Amino acid sequence: MELPFAESYKIKMVEPIRKSTRQEREKWIKEANYNLFGLKSDQVFIDLLTDSGTGAMSDRQWSEIMLGDESYAGASSYFKMKDAIREVLGFEYFLPTHQGRAAENVLFSVLIKEGDIIPGNSHFDTTKGHIEFRKATAVDCTIDEAFDTTLSHPFKGNVDPIKLENILRSSGDKIPFIIVTVTCNSSGGQPVSVENLKMVRHLADKYGKMVVFDSARFSENAYFIKLREKGYQDKTIREIVREMFDCADVMTMSAKKDAIVNMGGFIAMRTKELHSKASVYNIMFEGYITYGGMSGRDMNALAQGLYEGTEYDYLETRIRQVEYLGMRLMDFGIPLQQPIGGHAVFIDAKRFLPHLPKEEFQAQTLAVELYVEAGVRGVEIGALLADRDPVTRENRYPALELMRLAIPRRVYTNNHMDVVAVALKNIYDRRDTIRKGLKILTEAPIMRHFTATFDLA
């Protein structure tokens, strides 16, 4: 008999979590104005709000914490991080930042000016926010297949070469760089193939543009390449990672994902010139160039995390758990983005609650239902997150209206996944009885999803 699959780690420390009653949860979510960001964490049983900064560090990472060098300038921790970035990712220069959006802020301060156009594959919300904040425009060039959740395509994060070349041809003078997000969070944690990255590199060279990778989940991307792209089965994750990054000039990293730390990020680049320019903003916004918003101990844990996050056994355990949840939901007939992504399962709320109008925020409504059903916290990736159009101030309704269940790394067991799956099945069985969605009471002008307040529509 073939041995079953099991995790590539064992558990050394645990953190109790508390179950609650439906009655308690109904009260708490109302007090939170139907915004899941407003809940206290101890009001949540299984927290799938994000996989960002919520992972469990290893014993080796905790050991590195003790070895952190907190010197203001030239700390050994900075050099540890520099070595890991050079070895794993192949970049010579880097700047630490406190997290991914800080890397975007610093880098974009150098590269973007008013009126610019930044093509890419479904830019993440903070990326888009930092582009629009500078009165520039993010143009989505993701392949159309990504927007049909029923279609199974191995690389739904891919950039459409025709869309990209069209914008390069028509607006080339306004484009400072192309940004590729690996994996593509907004389209469902979907990977980008090496072939596609090489195509982007080719077009960038043809039009004399830089290529930036938004790399939060780069190693999950490499895992999918190994599994799905022809010619990569026998390569190691690290070899694939290097081949991916060979197509980029610069990368921004939210290390809270694939480097499995609770806080941290960086920008890595190939030239001293860009490093010098970005250093000015890094010092102003983040901190001196050898710590940039991070403590020495956190830089140590991040360096260790870059090695662990690119080990095949770790990635297999991680991505198979996400797949396990997805498969259980599919067995129940629940509509979701296919194939299942690297860090999360994305429920198609338009198909789950088709009788609710889009103006009543289907995915947010579903997320509230799931919380009340079982104390599980997901997050809306739909019209709420898409914000209003900066010019017309009209609501933007993206092609996909999703509820994301993001799985923290090395935190929950498959028993937890079973609870989530059955909770959603119960809601799916009674979906016709959900007659009311939500309406917004108050909202911020940008990135409103964090603080918006709602009432029942």
The residue (of 65 and 263) whose beta carbon lies closer to ligand F0G is: 263
DSSP 339: S
Interface with ligand F0G (CB under 6 A), residue from 99, 122, 158, 300: 99
Residue partners of 5: CB distance under 8 A and separation at least 6: 320
CB 414 within 8 A of CB 321: yes
The residue (of 69 and 449) whose beta carbon lies closer to ligand F0G is: 449
The residue (of 267 and 356) whose beta carbon lies closer to ligand F0G is: 267
3-state secondary structure (DSSP) of residue 34: coil
Q: Smallest distance from the beta carbon of 216 to ligand F0G, in angstroms?
A: 4
Supply the DSSP string of 90-158, one letter for each residue.
--SEEEEESSHHHHHHHHHHHH--TT-EEEESS--HHHHHHHHHTT-EEEE-B-GGGG-TT---TTTTP
Q: Smallest distance from the beta carbon of 312 to ligand F0G, in angstroms?
A: 22
Q: What's at 192, amino acid-wise?
A: V
Q: Which of residues 345-404 bind ligand F0G (CB under 6 A)?
A: none
Closest CA to 415 of 11, 65, 76: 11
CB 131 within 8 A of CB 108: yes
Q: What's at 6, amino acid-wise?
A: A
Strand order in the sheet with 137-140: 93-97, 265-269, 250-254, 210-214, 177-181, 117-120, 137-140
Residue partners of 367: CB distance under 8 A and separation at least 6: 36, 377, 378, 379, 380, 403
Q: Smallest distance from the beta carbon of 341 to ligand F0G, in angstroms?
A: 11
The residue (of 25 and 404) whose beta carbon lies closer to ligand F0G is: 404
Q: Which of residues 216-245 bind ligand F0G (CB under 6 A)?
A: 216
By CB under 6 A, residue 126 contacts ligand F0G: yes
Binding span for ligand F0G by CB under 6 A among 95-103, 139-147, 172-180, 346-354: 95-103
Residue partners of 448: CB distance under 8 A and separation at least 6: 384, 387, 388, 440
Cα distance between residue 409 and residue 407, in whole Å: 6
Q: Which of residues 264-283 bind ligand F0G (CB under 6 A)?
A: 265
Q: Smallest distance from the beta carbon of 120 to ligand F0G, in angstroms?
A: 11
Instruction: Look at strands 344-348 and 265-269 and give their pairing.
Output: unpaired
DSSP 249: S
By CB under 6 A, residue 142 contacts ligand F0G: no
Which value, in Å, is the radius of gyration of the alpha carbons in the chain?
21
Q: Smallest distance from the beta carbon of 457 to ligand F0G, in angstroms?
A: 26
In the numeric block, the tokens 């190994």 are attached to 226
Interface with ligand F0G (CB under 6 A), residue from 50, 196, 282, 321: 50
The residue (of 52 and 196) whose beta carbon lies closer to ligand F0G is: 52
Closest CA to 386 of 356, 416, 408, 361: 361
Q: What's at 333, amino acid-wise?
A: G
Q: Smallest distance from the beta carbon of 425 to ligand F0G, in angstroms?
A: 25
By CB under 6 A, residue 214 contacts ligand F0G: yes
CB 122 within 8 A of CB 179: no
Which residue numbers are catalytic?
Answer: 72, 124-125, 214, 216, 257, 449
Binding span for ligand F0G by CB under 6 A among 26-34, 39-47, 120-128, 412-420: 120-128
Q: Smallest distance from the beta carbon of 52 to ligand F0G, in angstroms?
A: 4
Cα distance between residue 64 and residue 68, in whole Å: 6
Count the site residues for ligand F0G by CB under 6 A. Answer: 15
Q: Which of residues 407-426 bind ligand F0G (CB under 6 A)?
A: none
Interface with ligand F0G (CB under 6 A), residue from 25, 256, 350, 377: 256
Cα distance between residue 38 and residue 412, in whole Å: 22
Interface with ligand F0G (CB under 6 A), residue from 80, 101, 134, 449: 101
Cα distance between residue 220 and residue 314, in whole Å: 10
Q: Smallest distance from the beta carbon of 214 to ligand F0G, in angstroms?
A: 5
The residue (of 61 and 252) whose beta carbon lies closer to ligand F0G is: 252
The residue (of 50 and 158) whose beta carbon lies closer to ligand F0G is: 50
Binding span for ligand F0G by CB under 6 A among 122-130, 136-144, 158-166, 318-326: 122-130
Contact residues: ligand F0G, CB under 6 A: 50, 52, 99-101, 124, 126-127, 181, 185, 214, 216, 254, 256, 265
